[in-house]
A and B are shown apart, each in its own frame.
Chain A
Amino acid sequence: MTEQGTLFDDDFLKKLEYLKVVSGQMIPGHMHGEHRAKKKTDSGIEFADYRQYVSGEDTKNVDWRTYLRHDKLILRIFEEDADLPIYIFFDASKSMDYGTPLKFDYARKIAAALCYIGLLNQDRVNLVGYADGIAQELSARRGKNQVWNSFRFLESVEPRGTTSMEKAIKNFFSARRRRGLVVVVSDFFDESGFEKAFDMLRYFRQDLFAVHIHSTDEAHPELPDEVLLEDSELGTTERIKVTPALLDAYAEKFEEHCDQVGNYCRKNGWGYVRATTDVPFEDLILRVFRQGRFLG
């Protein structure tokens, strides 16, 4: 691993290796020897098991020797690798270009980490940067050798424009996609609301894992008495007279917003983690693992 940009430096890569080891310990049997769950079919190469023949089934795999010896129709069953499509949607709108560290960099690191783990597990990983629709997309990749392509792609994306997750999901899944795990890394500041996009995922029977990130001062802003608030995405402004009550109300509203996203996910049996950008990204990834969905 010698190719690297400023975003994914040596330190980042070391943390990825650490995540690789830790994730294997947390979910035994999943990461060892790049093992993937296998589905049993009748057309594979690798023998897996026998089962009783049921009338009407194709006799191609009947084990005739057993039939001659025991007078029973037994079918041979074979195993076949079952790869998991992972669709990583990361928010590349202008609202992510905020905070210290930048929410967008934080989101890209999370996407990179999840992508890395997915590729190690021989999953098919799609990377989609979205804003007001799909901004940039890296189509499904599989295998460890795709790691650098993925990182380069992530480094190439710039935050810009407004947010419409609904439009991005709709565009992406309008093409035929296999069922898989959709990971959305975003601040979920979406004028059109996140619910429609999530409903669409449910419609496409996709599993969802939402990673909600925000900076600390977004939750508890410190503003002067009178301020002209400018929306980073729309560029519109509004004069506000700031009071402690207003700040408290905003903090409440922000919590309410986060709870809405979390509750929506939990209600649909989806995963949800929330973190501020001052939390080390590897800790956040471990929290993702602990929820047991990403590698399930």
Chain B
Amino acid sequence: MTFLGMSAVLAGSLLAATGAVVGFLYWLKPPARRLVVPSRLLWNRLLREKRKSSILDRLRWLISLMIALFIGLSVATAIGRPEASTTGLDTRAITIVIDNSATMSTRMSDGFTRWDHAVEHARRLLQGRSADGEFLIVDTSGQAPPTAPGQRPEAFDVLAGLTVSLGGDPRFPTVPNSDADLFFISDGVLVNDVPDEAIVIPVFQPADNVGITAFAIDLVPSGPLTYQAFLEVTNASSTAKEVSVRLSGTGGPGRRYDVTLRAGESQVRSIDLSSFDRGAVRATVISNGDAFVADDHAYGFLPVQRATRVALITRGSVYLESALAAEGRLALDVLTPDQYAAGVVADVYIFDRFAPSTAPPGPSLLFMPPDAPWLARTTEILSTPEVAGWDVEHPLLQFVSLVDLRIDRAARIALPSRSNEASGGLENRPPGSVDVVVGTRELPLMVASEASERAVRVSFALDDSNFPLQPGFPIFLTNALGWLMGERVALSSFPGRIEVPVLMAEVVDLQGNEMATWPLPDRTVFAAPEPGLYTVAGSSRRLRVAVNLTSRRHSSVNASTFGFDAESSPIEVPFPGSEDGGAPELWVLLLVIATVLVLGEWFTYHRRLTV
């Protein structure tokens, strides 16, 4: 027997002390009361007869002492939280890696999920080992990171705290104890890097699944004020499926279409959203026998479908004016610096060789601005600077080539140190960070920053370069305006831990439930366990995050490396509520026995059966 609550020595001392105290208390019984009776004549006759027969009466004291000792020792033992070392069971250490990746939430033919079966397997493995062994439960999503092995109850606690993690990058963890028996319970879909020494317990069973594998809301190229939903639906089942796709939004009737998808087939559709008002858009696929629900819904956010108001403040720039005028989705307002000072309201501000003394109230694009208090300082003017490089991954330069870019004159600006920068989990950067998009950190020619408002600063004038003559210039302008207005559409993310570039933000889901957040110095982290549209509200910014499990990899619930053996049917999982939860712990049993004995002793004492 092992004691979980204290050391064996302490437990032994406690038991000995309890026994001694009980014995002492019995030895200390108060002296008999003296009672005068008229005559002991009858008592004497009676006792003469009783002494011959009543052995039990003489044992009453001893029996009572034994019961009291048992009660005391039971309670003392229970305090030590004993656990029986089940004789005959395996005493070796055991490490169980349990797969809690997204596909483990796939429902099986018995109505339970693969995860339910995995947990039951793990529970039985734990119970099948001797309590003297060492136990470790580790998962593939980092909820239970590898630690030192512990006692069985701790392993049960860890197991009870694990849930399926829809997001993240599930992988087989590095387990610490190589001597322990290593078991891996998985469906073999998302976690494949299993070491050879691991004993795999598959919980895979083929299942039907039709899911949304891609979903995005974006502008229609041909209609700059029109948004479309781009939707990809994949049938990951082994048979053809009749699928009903529904799209619902704000203000308009929902869209619905039915389609038949062959096994493994994907279908992409663009759906016009012009009938919807600004707000959340939800796509749903419905198919018969769908076993994996996490990919059946996808969310997006539809911005206001109107022209973007652009204020161009310039003393005259034919390139900018003509390029912006060609953008159909813009409402262009060309102003001189003097007119800007009188006040203007726009969605985006473009400053050409001008900068106001204070930052504009919205996102801005600046071409070789003079020094201003809210801008990085210009240190020198350079002639024919070399374009050392550019960030092809940056949204500003998407489909833009700068190979032939020539610059006659540019300003060198003093960027803030890198310590002020931080990396983010989304396509945005944390507030205050500055990305060098073109050039180097020593000679930045184009930087993108995210302070309270986004800003793009180009360190050269268009007239001092051949940039406006490049074919990518209009694309750059489109990218720049899109990035500057980027907050208007929802950010996208997988379920799980999400970082947003908003300080001290509050996050609510579509139903208005407030999510738990963890504020960091330069951003806010929150957990989105399920797909949905989350609204992040900070003091200066408001973001929407569309959390979707749109991935062919996740939807392919049958892509198991284990295969399926129909004869090795899954173990039976007890119904929630009907399961006995295993045998009660020994200390509970001891306390129950002690309670029963106390009640019994109380009864027999008052019946004078015991002393």
Interface residues of A (CB under 8 A from B): 94-99, 103, 163, 187, 189-191, 218, 221, 223-234, 236-247, 249-250, 253-254, 257
Q: Could you name 7 residue pairs across A and B whose Cβ atoms are closer than 8 Å?
A: A98-B37, A187-B39, A230-B34, A231-B39, A243-B57, A244-B609, A249-B49
Q: Which residues of A contact B50 (CB under 8 A)?
A: 246, 249
Flag if B37 contacts A221 (CB, 8 Å). Answer: yes
Give the most central of B36, B39, B44, B607: most A CB within 10 Å. Answer: B39
Q: How far is the CA of A239 from the CA of B32 in the complex (A)?
A: 7
B34's closest neighbor in chain A, by CB? Answer: A228
Question: Which 3 A-B pairs rank lowest in CB-CB distance, beginning with the nearest?
Answer: A189-B39, A95-B38, A226-B32
Q: Which residues of B contact A231 (CB under 8 A)?
A: 37, 39-40
Question: For the complex, is B403 an interface residue (Cβ under 8 Å from A)?
Answer: no
Interface residues of B (CB under 8 A from A): 29, 32-47, 49-50, 54, 57, 60-61, 607-609, 611
Flag if B40 contacts A234 (CB, 8 Å). Answer: yes
Total contacts A-B at CB 8 Å: 98
Q: Which residues of A contact B60 (CB under 8 A)?
A: 241, 243
In addition to A95-B38, A95-B39, 9 A-B residue pairs with Cβ atoms within 8 Å of each other are: A190-B41, A225-B608, A231-B40, A240-B47, A243-B60, A246-B46, A247-B608, A253-B46, A254-B42
Known A-B contacts A238-B43, A240-B43, A250-B46; A224 and B37 likewise in contact (beta carbons under 8 Å): no
Of the residues B44, B61, B607, contact of A244 by C-beta under 8 Å: B607
Flag if B57 contacts A241 (CB, 8 Å). Answer: yes
Flag if A241 contacts B611 (CB, 8 Å). Answer: yes
B64's closest neighbor in chain A, by CB? Answer: A225
Q: Which residues of A contact B29 (CB under 8 A)?
A: 226
Flag if A246 contacts B32 (CB, 8 Å). Answer: no
Q: Which residues of B contact A224 (CB under 8 A)?
A: 32-33, 35
B30's closest neighbor in chain A, by CB? Answer: A226
Q: Which residues of A contact B49 (CB under 8 A)?
A: 249
Q: Which residues of A contact B35 (CB under 8 A)?
A: 223-224, 227-230
Flag if B32 contacts A227 (CB, 8 Å). Answer: yes
Q: How far is the CA of A243 from the CA of B54 in the complex (A)?
A: 11
Flag if A233 contacts B39 (CB, 8 Å). Answer: yes
Q: How far is the CB of A82 from chain B (nearest CB, A)?
A: 40
Q: How far is the CB of B361 from chain A (nearest CB, A)?
A: 92
Q: How far is the CB of A152 from chain B (nearest CB, A)?
A: 27
Of the residues B32, B36, B45, B46, contact of A232 by C-beta under 8 Å: B36
Q: How far is the CA of A223 from the CA of B43 in the complex (A)?
A: 13
Q: How far is the CA of A227 from the CA of B40 in the complex (A)?
A: 13
Q: Which residues of A contact B32 (CB under 8 A)?
A: 224, 226-228, 239-240
Of the residues A238, A249, A254, contact of B40 by C-beta under 8 Å: A238
Q: Which residues of B contact A103 (CB under 8 A)?
A: 38
Flag if B43 contacts A229 (CB, 8 Å). Answer: yes
Known A-B contacts A224-B33, A237-B34; A249 and B608 likewise in contact (beta carbons under 8 Å): no
Known A-B contacts A241-B57, A243-B60, A244-B609; A249 and B38 likewise in contact (beta carbons under 8 Å): no
Flag if A257 contacts B47 (CB, 8 Å). Answer: no
A254's closest neighbor in chain B, by CB? Answer: B42
Q: How far is the CA of A237 from the CA of B50 in the complex (A)?
A: 18
Q: How far is the CA of A159 from the CA of B46 in the complex (A)?
A: 26
Flag if B39 contacts A250 (CB, 8 Å). Answer: no
Known A-B contacts A240-B43, A253-B45; A226 and B611 likewise in contact (beta carbons under 8 Å): yes
Q: Which residues of B contact A230 (CB under 8 A)?
A: 34-37, 40
Of the residues B34, B46, B609, contact of A249 by C-beta under 8 Å: B46
Q: Which residues of A contact B61 (CB under 8 A)?
A: 241
A99's closest neighbor in chain B, by CB? Answer: B38
Q: Which residues of A contact B33 (CB under 8 A)?
A: 224, 226-228
Q: How far is the CA of A66 from the CA of B404 in the complex (A)?
A: 190
Give the most central of B40, B43, B46, B49: most A CB within 10 Å. Answer: B40
Q: How far is the CB of B603 from chain A (nearest CB, A)?
A: 13
Q: How far is the CA of A227 from the CA of B31 in the complex (A)?
A: 8
Q: How far is the CA of A97 from the CA of B61 in the complex (A)?
A: 35
Q: How far is the CA of A177 from the CA of B162 in the complex (A)?
A: 108
Q: How far is the CA of A230 from the CA of B38 in the complex (A)?
A: 8
Q: How far is the CB of A214 from chain B (nearest CB, A)?
A: 8
Q: How far is the CA of A230 from the CA of B609 in the complex (A)?
A: 24
Q: How far is the CA of A182 from the CA of B61 in the complex (A)?
A: 50
Q: How far is the CA of A214 from the CA of B131 in the complex (A)?
A: 68
Flag if A232 contacts B42 (CB, 8 Å). Answer: no
Q: How far is the CA of A271 from the CA of B45 in the complex (A)?
A: 27
Known A-B contacts A230-B35, A239-B32; A191 and B57 likewise in contact (beta carbons under 8 Å): no
Flag if A189 contacts B34 (CB, 8 Å). Answer: no
Flag if B38 contacts A98 (CB, 8 Å). Answer: yes
Q: How far is the CA of A237 from the CA of B36 in the complex (A)?
A: 9
Q: How far is the CB of B372 from chain A (nearest CB, A)?
A: 99
Flag if A253 contacts B607 (CB, 8 Å). Answer: no
Q: How far is the CA of A95 from the CA of B50 in the complex (A)?
A: 24
B57's closest neighbor in chain A, by CB? Answer: A243
Q: How far is the CA of A18 from the CA of B204 in the complex (A)?
A: 104
Flag if A225 contacts B611 (CB, 8 Å). Answer: yes
Q: How far is the CA of A201 from the CA of B125 in the complex (A)?
A: 93
Q: Which residues of B contact A250 (CB under 8 A)?
A: 42-43, 46
Q: How far is the CA of A157 from the CA of B571 in the complex (A)?
A: 95
A96's closest neighbor in chain B, by CB? Answer: B38
B46's closest neighbor in chain A, by CB? Answer: A253
Q: How far is the CB of B43 from chain A (nearest CB, A)?
A: 6
Q: How far is the CA of A40 from the CA of B608 in the complex (A)?
A: 67
Q: Which residues of B contact A244 (CB under 8 A)?
A: 607-609
Q: Which residues of B contact A243 (CB under 8 A)?
A: 57, 60, 608-609
Q: How far is the CA of A115 from the CA of B36 in the complex (A)?
A: 32
Q: How far is the CA of A218 from the CA of B35 in the complex (A)?
A: 12
Q: How far is the CA of A231 from the CA of B57 in the complex (A)?
A: 23
Q: How far is the CA of A158 from the CA of B609 in the complex (A)?
A: 41
Flag if A189 contacts B609 (CB, 8 Å). Answer: no
